[in-house]
Amino acid sequence: MNAEIKNGTAVLTVHIKGPNFTAHASELENYIKKISNEEKKKISKMNNKQYQSFLLEKSSEFYLQLVKRNDLQYMENDIKVYVKKYPNTWGVIQDYTINNAIYKYLGFGYGPELMR
């Protein structure tokens, strides 16, 4: 890791590796469609909050199975992370436009540009 520090801010060059779930996005989509088709009756009786919970649960099931497979793809790279000095500590600048790279890894491949 390298760091360039100036006036209470710093740019860190960090080597990072994380799962690239976007590589399996179409597979997730097909899985959700299949499960939704199988659970049509149950889904038709759900309110919006229940449906969102159902989708989250099924997505989680998919990812838990995915990480056990040997074909999981990873993102790996040196990235720049922008941090600043707070009163008692250093912290990541929480701005997607500045720290897009770190948020992409924290989102397991889904960067802020896809979340907007």
pLDDT digits (tens, 9 = 90+) for 1-33: 678 888 888 998 888 887 888 888 899 999 999
Asked whether residue 61 falls in the same domain as residue 26, the answer is yes
Residues in Cβ contact with 48 at an 8 Å cutoff, skipping those fewer than 6 apart:
none
Asked whether residue 59 falls in the same domain as residue 42, the answer is yes
Measure the CA–CA gap between 37 and 28, rounded to whole angstroms.
Answer: 14
Least confident of 11-20, 43-52, 72-81, 90-99: 90-99
Range of the domain at 90: 1-20+73-116
Contact yes or no for 76/16 (Cβ under 8 A): yes
Asked whether residue 55 falls in the same domain as residue 80, the answer is no
Number of domains in the chain: 2
Contact yes or no for 21/98 (Cβ under 8 A): no
Asked whether residue 60 falls in the same domain as residue 100, the answer is no
Per-residue pLDDT band for 105 (boundaries 50, 70, 90) equals low
Residues in Cβ contact with 97 at an 8 Å cutoff, skipping those fewer than 6 apart:
none
Contact yes or no for 18/108 (Cβ under 8 A): yes
Asked whether residue 54 falls in the same domain as residue 64, the answer is yes
Asked whether residue 78 falls in the same domain as residue 42, the answer is no
